[in-house]
Amino acid sequence: MNKRIDAAPLRLKPLTAIIGGAFAYSIALAAHAQTVAPTVEVVGTSPVPGLDQPKSEIPSNVQSISKRALRDTGAAGLPELLGSQLQSVNVNEIQGNPYQADVNYRGFTASPLLGTPQGLSVYQDGVRINEPFGDVVNWDLIPRNAIASIDLIPGSNPLFGLNTLGGALSIRTKDGFSAAGTGIEAYTGSFGRHAVTAEHGGNNGELGWYFTATRFEEDGWRDASPSEVNQYFGKISHRTSTHEFDLNLTHADSDLIGNGLTPLSFYEQRRKSIFTSPDNTRNQMTMLSLNGGYWLDDIHKLSGTAYVRRNNVRTLNGDANDEFDLPGDPEGVLNRTRTRQSGYGFSLQWAEIREDRQLAVGTTFDHSRTKFQQTEQEGDFNADRSVNPTDDEEDPDPKLRGRSQTWSLFATGTWRPYEGTTVSLSGRYNHTSVRTTDQLDSTSSLNSDYTYSKINPAIGATYALTPAVTLYANAQQGNRAPSPIELGCSDPAEPCKLPNAMQADPRLDQVVTRGIEIGMRGTAGPVRWNAAAFGAVNRDDILFVSSNTVGQGYFKNFGKTRRTGVELGLSGDYGSFTWNAGYTWVDATYRSSECIVSAENSEAGNQGCGADNIRVESGDKIPGIAEHSFKLGLNWRAADWLTLGSDVVTHSGVYARGNENNDHDENGKTSGFTVVNLVADADLGAGWSLFARVNNLFDKRYFTAAQIGENPFTGPNNSFDTDTNNWEDETFYAPGAPRAGWIGVRYRFGG
């Protein structure tokens, strides 16, 4: 019998008490605050570079990552950095690889895994980099060392286009003007992880250049989990008093092993255990983009972006054979996919920028093509549960070609009708066509051509209650059109196994999200604070649900889902210390009743939905979303040459996938956990510095996600059991990494 894992108890005050207390405390602090000249921070209000607005006038809680945190190289992948630095973000380490994690923000997700409901858009220098085949985000393809700034814009902001249901992540890269000089750094440590990065930037006053390259390798902390990532970025810039142009080249080549969830019984025997192998993803991406801005006169500016992008993806997954029935049948199967994605597009924006108002109108166009094929190769399991092929690789069936094309018109305006008051209005019209073609069968049901269109509005306002306190509110709407992978796997009569099958494609409706946010922020002497309440409702959310065939499922529209919550934050300076703290409560629930397949759920067949089915009721929690999150960061300038820091991350437990009804009687939810990390940076002089990082200082054992499944491996050696009656229903977990440390050296000169 498996040991039960209960959610860690975290108590929550009534919502009204939290909001009321936060507002009262904020106003009380402001009443005693001294008048301090504020530092003006600006944020891009649209993905097209060139339209910035003071963060204090934006009607939402925009977050940015500090330059110090961006320098923290020990945090290997972007998900780890985002999870430790930003409020309301929690990370599910689904694959056990630092570059293949799900990033959840206010209940919405950006993930590299097909089948995950995507709800966040990601931009690099104005180019949307969600992949066209499923809106997934490949974190390994973003050049970490080239990042100059990261802004997280909350809500379904229509200006950021498709897939901006819960928020947008806007990444700006370095250039030869802001990052002049030459540097090299290297670090090594736990898990056989080591990396080397070099960069060089400079300018002659008008012409600037910047180049960087990174090589990352590790053995991984789990069995058979080596990975490597190579990233390259270059930029040529030209600046004058009337224009700025940037030509950017990004290239990445990665070979990732992400061995996914492991059964609880395996984990209890061996912390590093994996279920089956291999689970390999190879990405090779090249993107060329051009950003430009030209001042027509003192107040009018033209800005634009153009890009071309190509990404080739190969996956190899060793899985249990879902067609196994009798001894002698192949036990396992190697599922292979080959995906070629190419795209191009442009955006153009005209802006009028005055002291009391801003106005911008623009258009965007994005076109992508995808070629997808899949094969299977049956085999048997080795002693380490890797698949040894015994048959030939099957011919691809089907061989899918997908095309997506979107053009948009947008407009936004911000006015200051009174001193201390701003009003913002914006809107965007999206027109998307999605075409899929089976190249092997002209009569296939995969052949389709669907069109989606939507007008999305937004309104917001800020009001300075006092010089130190600002109130704000907004209401927004965004949408997401189905991608080719979702349309190609949407028939419950023809389920597929992601990412390895496409069958038939009944039409899916586009997802439409309506959201609101009400909050306040301000300063009280050296203390900065924010408090917000937010809510969003998704209509026709696209979910991947299981079918009656083990390991398979299909995409479908699911009535309504809702995310509501509260976000509270404090930060400040005290002598040689800087600190920040944040708490978030997120209530992510289904708001429609639905019958879905979950054969391993203890309530399957008992809720009036038929055999192997469970009933999801309105109010049931969405799996994978932490209801409570708390983060604490502290940095101490111990000496002129030494900085020490720590970040503490606490999350409550999450429901397992397959337990959408929240009624599974055993191990249907993970436990809450707290992880403490340490960082240090020592300036040795003459351009040299030493840095170090320790993750999970107290070696906490914890899980970030889970899924209910069936385990065909039994006995003391966990070998494949040919008697299917002995297969056990079990919860599979995404274990967090154990204690680990890295140390590195950095040398920089010039600039």
Q: Is 500 left (phi over 0), alpha (psi -120 to 50) or beta?
A: alpha
Read off the pLDDT of residues 362-373 as tens digits, 9 standing for 90 and up.
999 999 999 988
Instruction: Mean pLDDT check: name the lowest of 33-37, 155-159, 438-442, 518-522.
Output: 33-37
Joined together, the tokens standing for residue 385 give 């549960």
Q: By the 8 A CB rule, do 161 and 181 touch?
A: no
Is 15-439+457-749 a CATH 2.40.170.20 domain? Answer: yes
Best CA proximity match to 667, nearest among 652, 683, 656, 681: 656
Under 8 Å CB-to-CB from 490, ≥6 apart: which residues? Answer: 482, 504, 505, 506, 507, 508, 554, 555, 556
| Whole-number CA gyration radius for the chain | 26
pLDDT given at position 502: 31
Q: By the 8 A CB rule, do 156 and 476 touch?
A: yes
Instruction: Mean pLDDT check: name the lowest of 11-15, 286-290, 335-339.
Output: 11-15
Point out which residues pair with 172 in neighbouring strands: 149
d(Cα 593, Cα 27) in Å, to the nearest integer? 42
Q: How many CA atoms lie within 13 A of 476 on its CB side?
A: 32
Q: Average per-residue pLDDT in the chain?
A: 89
Q: How confident is the model at residue 31 (pLDDT cuts 50, 70, 90)?
A: very low
Joined together, the tokens standing for residue 159 give 């200006």
CB atoms under 10 Å from CB of 101, counted, come to: 28
Average pLDDT for 489-498: 64
Q: How confident is the model at residue 263 (pLDDT cuts 50, 70, 90)?
A: very high
pLDDT given at position 50: 75
pLDDT given at position 212: 98
Q: In this predicted model, which residue has the larger pLDDT, 153 or 557?
A: 153
Q: By the 8 A CB rule, do 397 and 439 touch?
A: no
Q: In this predicted model, which residue has the larger pLDDT, 497 or 622?
A: 622
Q: How confident is the model at residue 24 (pLDDT cuts 50, 70, 90)?
A: very low
**What is the H or E stretch that residue 712 is in?**
none
Point out which residues pair with 613 in neighbouring strands: 597
pLDDT given at position 164: 95
Q: In this predicted model, which residue has the larger pLDDT, 303 or 508?
A: 303
Residue 8 has pLDDT above 60, yes or no: no
Backbone angles phi, psi at 258, to 5 degrees: -130, 100
Joined together, the tokens standing for residue 746 give 């950095």
Q: How confident is the model at residue 41 (pLDDT cuts 50, 70, 90)?
A: confident
Residue 440 has pLDDT above 80, yes or no: no
Average pLDDT for 566-574: 96
pLDDT given at position 48: 84
d(Cα 105, Cα 89) in Å, to the nearest integer? 5
Average pLDDT for 311-326: 92
**What is the H or E stretch that residue 298 is in?**
none
Read off the pLDDT of residues 512-552 as tens digits, 9 standing for 90 and up.
999 999 999 999 999 999 999 999 999 988 777 655 554 56
Joined together, the tokens standing for residue 536 give 């969003």
Residue 68 has pLDDT above 70, yes or no: yes
For the chain, the residue count is: 751
Query: What is the 3-state secondary structure of 625-678?
Result: CCCEEEEEEEEEEEECCEEEEEEEEEECCCECECCCCCCCCCCCECCCEEEEEE
DSSP summary character for residue 438: E
Instruction: Mean pLDDT check: name the lowest of 315-324, 568-577, 615-624, 655-664.
Output: 315-324
Joined together, the tokens standing for residue 264 give 């609880």
d(Cα 410, Cα 738) in Å, to the nearest integer? 47
Read off the pLDDT of residues 135-149 as tens digits, 9 standing for 90 and up.
999 999 999 999 999
pTM score: 0.92
Point out which residues pair with 473 in neighbouring strands: 461, 518
Q: What percentage of the chain has pLDDT greater than the value 90?
A: 74
Residue 39 has pLDDT above 70, yes or no: no
pLDDT given at position 43: 84
Instruction: Mean pLDDT check: name the lowest of 362-366, 383-387, 498-502, 702-706.
Output: 498-502
Best CA proximity match to 692, nearest among 647, 641, 738, 644: 644
Average pLDDT for 472-487: 89
Residue 494 has pLDDT above 70, yes or no: no
pLDDT given at position 715: 87
Average pLDDT for 443-472: 90
pLDDT given at position 1: 36
Helix (H/G/I), strand (E/B), else coil: 466: strand
Kindly report whether the peptide bond that precedes residue 499 is cis, defined as omega within 30 degrees of 0: yes
CA-to-CA dists, residue 574 to 570, 634, 644, angstroms = 13, 11, 15
pLDDT given at position 507: 66
pLDDT given at position 70: 84
Q: What share of the chain is helix, strand, coil (3-state, %, to 5)?
A: 10, 55, 35
Average pLDDT for 208-213: 98
Amino acid symbol at 542 = I
d(Cα 551, Cα 710) in Å, to the nearest integer? 9
Q: State the maximum Cα–Cα separation within the chain, in Å, rounded to a whole number.
A: 80
Q: In this predicted model, which residue has the larger pLDDT, 54 or 231?
A: 231
Give the β-pairing of 553-574 and 713-714: unpaired
Q: In this predicted model, which residue has the larger pLDDT, 64 or 501?
A: 64
Task: Label residues 258-287 b or e (16+ Cβ within 10 Å = b).
Answer: bbbbbbbbbbeeeebbbbbbbbbbebbbbb
Average pLDDT for 428-437: 92
CA-to-CA dists, residue 450 to 22, 342, 482, 676, 701, angstroms = 48, 20, 9, 49, 47
Residue 13 has pLDDT above 70, yes or no: no
